[in-house]
Amino acid sequence: MELSELGLDSGFEEQASKLCASGQCVARVTAVDRGRYVVRDAQGEVPAELTGKFLYTAASSVDMPCVGDWVCAQYHDADSHASIHDVVPRRSFLRRKSPGKNIDFQMIAANIDVAFIVQSCHFDFNVRRLERYLVMVNEGHIEPVLLLTKTDLVSAQELEHMLANIRAAGITARIITLSNQTGEGVDEVMALVVPGKTYCLLGSSGIGKTTLINRLLGKNELETRSVSGTGEGRHTTTRRHLVTLDKGGLLIDMPGMRELGILSAGEGLDDSFADIKTRASRCRFADCSHNNEPGCAIRKAIEAGELNPEHYQSYLKLKAESDFNEMSYVDKRKKDKAFGMMVKSVLKHKR
């Protein structure tokens, strides 16, 4: 397989040529599982590990390689394994707040062109969760496409109601409805897959992501399990990995995410709630809090039924969460930096 088929273009190639030292070559990370890596070049996949220097110089979790990254790799022992020396600057990324109480970023995947955000029409449909996914995707400069699966388990009226709720939330992304049972919509998804481009599937566990991948692959390469009585699948992907489709596109499968914490969303939040941002610019006062000020365009739109109040409350909640986590993250980074300087000072005086 040529590297161009893995997504390497002139831009990545130019950056890699400046970054990779003699004896190193560019390869793509195709799997990450608990700190273990698999990289792929034109000859195939091999396991890889990070060099000590890389670990020492990495300032935070954001600097660690993730699925989809292009890296500078050095091969050893007849090309049976490799060491990762550096990460080529990312063009796009998916990240979230680390699960739990820890205030830090968790890198999910990188260099993605299109994110398929998947929800089941039967048990998983949730507009507020869609908004969270869209913030993540827009923040990382990735094009979103919404996939509503298992349409065979709901009526046509229920499906229309779901679509109306999505549009009422100001979501303008393309929507494809599909059924893994009948195959409806699968051809529409396949038509979007372009050779050399990278795609990912985002969504909860058991909603048909793996079944869809198998349809796109044209074979049951990934294991799935039976579906429960509620229509909820039981299969769970256990690691993030990149697979090659017959049409030449590249697809990243990943475990379902139970937590979608927002950290320092910024531009992604504004892009996902562009309707609110546009209306807020029409308020009489630039610092309008949208509470009791006269001439508030947000309150006027809600009262006129032009703006869904639940959509606006979701925006406020996500913004408050992002702002709070960002302040906590900045404070954490200051403490980490101070601790690092203290350690270097101690080591220097011991010499």
As a whole number of angstroms, the distance between CA 31 and CA 39 comes to: 7
Domains of the chain: 3-87 (2.40.50.140), 114-253 (3.40.50.300), 267-343 (1.10.40.50)
247 neighbors 264 (Cβ within 8 angstroms):
no
pLDDT in tens, 172-207: 999 999 987 788 898 999 999 999 999 998 887 766
pTM for the model? 0.80
As a whole number of angstroms, the distance between CA 323 and CA 319 comes to: 6
pLDDT in tens, 330-342: 665 665 555 455 5
As a whole number of angstroms, the distance between CA 347 and CA 44 comes to: 42
What percent of the chain lies above the pLDDT cut of 70? 81
174 neighbors 145 (Cβ within 8 angstroms):
yes
Residues 6+ apart with CB under 8 A from 76: 82, 83
- pLDDT at 335 (0 to 100): 57
CA angle at 261 for the pair 256 and 266, rounded to the nearest 5°: 125
115: how many CB neighbours lie within 10 A of its CB? 27
As a whole number of angstroms, the distance between CA 238 and CA 31 comes to: 11
Least confident of 27-36, 99-108, 183-192: 99-108
The 8 Å CB, 24+ separation contacts for 99-102 are: 99/258, 99/259, 99/261, 100/259
Per-residue pLDDT, averaged over 306-322, amounts to 85
- pLDDT at 229 (0 to 100): 40
Over the chain, what is the mean pLDDT?
83
Give the DSSP letter of residue 67.
B
More confident residue, 290 or 10: 10
What single-letter amino acid sits at 152? Answer: D
As a whole number of angstroms, the distance between CA 167 and CA 45 comes to: 42
As a whole number of angstroms, the distance between CA 241 and CA 67 comes to: 6
3-class SS letters over 199-239: EEEECCCCCCHHHHHHHHHCCCCCCCCCECCCCCECCCCCC
Confidence band, pLDDT 50/70/90 cuts, at residue 228: very low
Per-residue pLDDT, averaged over 75-79, amounts to 93
pLDDT in tens, 46-63: 999 999 999 988 888 889
As a whole number of angstroms, the distance between CA 63 and CA 73 comes to: 16
